[in-house]
Structure 1
């Protein structure tokens, strides 16, 4: 072996912190410097506004605009937030969120995750934008400030008196860092639609001012939340029929969170179950989806036994319960634990039992209250099993 020394000493290690670290390695903070990273940048800002609205009054809205000059404007009517730090309460103001990297741990909050990289809040979008302007309505005053690549151009300026509360953040992704700064209307619209489904009553609008033929716009608000989501998913599988959706919401302190579940059996398509944690899609499933399947199997098995039908794991229909089933399982947790960095597999062990128990109880109650439809549903499952 060669006697040449390998490894790193103090000279070889480049220590970067804060703004310099983000601009040196932008892909570490938004996933890439391509289209994916560009959209993550937008989702971080929109996610901040969404969580402000969700923390405020019911029925709030976030308005997103893609401007002709390549910027993105995000406006919300959320609760008042001071611009500077509040010395009386110790709370941090918007200025601190824009200029300082927050602590890595932000547990204890059932916040909506629009992006897998959410811990940085507004700091990373500010640093990775060639220009950012922020407007705050607080305490009857409107304050405005401008930043350039994360650095304040001037002190906040108080303008005319104003009523109400809310923020407007407009930013222009830095062309020196991103391979493209042209956002996809379709990509943003699809994610905003999904977040609206998963947060009942939340309104999100998207306006695109860039087309030469005139602006285009979409808006989303779903008063029935995941029930509306299941109805839309079911409509994708075949001819639309008025769906008979079973749904419920439940809070369980044992898992430090809430669950919202909706399901229906319709047609003969393969099982279509989608799981979400804090509004983020867990594409590989996890304990919430496992608990959902446990609960459905337990409720159907109990129904079959009460009527003297074959039941148990060896019943011919046991592995066909999911035929024609469409469902959304959404949990919102104080402390979600994921298996893997991409947050696609939920690992909280206590969630499985909590969700399974709630699904068994609510589906079993629906079977009792809707005997005719329950018989039709279970008969469909039994016939599916006997066809094998």
Structure 2
């Protein structure tokens, strides 16, 4: 180690301003510059309108992959940020961690400003109080102040943006990958309506469009996942919801056994996937074992969805793929044991069939 004094000082510190702070290291804000990061850019824009629907302030969200490579996200909400206040929500990066609870879906790291900064062009339109307000940006920089662009017959917000090809490895979204996530969100939030449209050229084929709305919630999710399962042990899907103060939230469970392998257990916390499982999955398996009188439960032949919505979810690890939280395991276990035991007691033939399936090879 050198004995010479360090020459590092405040002069060596470079403060990056908007939008360079985001454009310099895009992976820090959307996870990567691959297609996965491109899709996260869409979710950043979706966060606000999706939560507006769940709060009853909007009824739908429409996402379109446009023929010219741009992406349009539109909602029929109240037109927040209308008029001269439009620029703030498009350029102001929130500081710190936002407070979330069971009533919200957390889709974003930063929100719409990150899409603005990482797009070569973006047009924001807000319809409010009978006026259409429009503002255009290039790489996060506004070209002019928001300006009125004519009358509006309804309220809402539309963002049209072109992901910057200089920053992303690809600017081609996967329709199927986006649709999978949109379906999940609609399955887990039955009040949500999401529409995905693909207008990109496909050899003369008509534009592809899918509407995602599932009033049956997790029950519809299991029916979708088990569509190809062989020989269901019981034809109906077992489904229940429960609120428990130990959870500081709710749990929704749907499940069905089949003679085949099943689709396994899909788990979610506040509508986010938890691929590593966690306390909610452990509690679910504990409850199944207790209801069936077995020493432990397995996922043999099982297709199940376990979704918890918590006021203050505790995740273990930086990837947020493993749920922790004191009380979650016991709360989910008791809910599953009670509801499943009551259901099987009312249908003993169903209970016998399930036990035989789990006891078999």
TM above 0.5, one fold? yes
Alignment partner of 2:300: what SS? coil
The alignment yields a C-alpha RMSD, in angstroms, of 2.5
Q: What is the distance in 2 between the residues matched to 1:153 and 1:260?
A: 47
What do the CA deviations read for 1:133-191 (whole angstroms, capped 9, x no partner)? Answer: 11222233322222222222222222433343321111111122222212122221221
Gaps of 5+ in 2: none
Write out aligned runs for 1:59-98 (5 A): 60-83=59-82, 95-98=87-90
Distance of aligned partners of 1:126 and 1:241 in 2 relative to their CA distance in 1, 3 Å threshold: farther
Write out aligned runs for 1:168-187 (5 A): 168-187=158-177
Number of residue pairs matched? 358
Task: Select between 241-250 and 5-14 the one with higher mean Cα deviation.
Answer: 5-14
Kept in 2: contact 1:231–1:243 (CA 8 A) = no
Note if 1:112 corresponds to 2:89: no
Which residue of structure 2 aligns with residue 205 of structure 1?
195
Which residue of structure 2 aligns with residue 312 of structure 1?
none
Note if 1:150 corresponds to 2:140: yes
Which residue of structure 1 aligns with residue 273 of structure 2?
281
Q: What is the distance in 2 between the residues matched to 1:347 and 1:159?
A: 50
Q: Note the C-alpha offset of 1:286.
A: 0.8
Q: 1:161 aligns with which of 151, 163, 178?
A: 151
Q: Note the C-alpha offset of 1:288.
A: 1.0
Which residue of structure 2 aligns with residue 233 of structure 1?
225
Which residue of structure 1 aligns with residue 320 of structure 2?
343
Distance of aligned partners of 1:268 and 1:127 in 2 relative to their CA distance in 1, 3 Å threshold: same
Q: What is the distance in 2 between the residues matched to 1:6 and 1:126?
A: 39
Which residue of structure 2 aligns with residue 136 of structure 1?
126
Which residue of structure 2 aligns with residue 33 of structure 1?
33
Q: 2:250 aligns with which of 258, 266, 271?
A: 258
Q: What is the distance in 1 between the residues matched to 2:353 and 2:43?
A: 43
Q: What is the distance in 2 between the residues matched to 1:217 and 1:22?
A: 32
Which residue of structure 2 aligns with residue 329 of structure 1?
306
Kept in 1: contact 2:190–2:216 (CA 8 A) = yes
Q: Normalising by structure 2, report the TM-score.
A: 0.90
Q: Normalising by structure 1, report the TM-score.
A: 0.84
Kept in 1: contact 2:259–2:357 (CA 8 A) = no
Q: What is the distance in 1 between the residues matched to 2:50 and 2:135?
A: 21
Q: Note the C-alpha offset of 1:220.
A: 1.8
Gaps of 5+ in 1: 86-92, 302-316
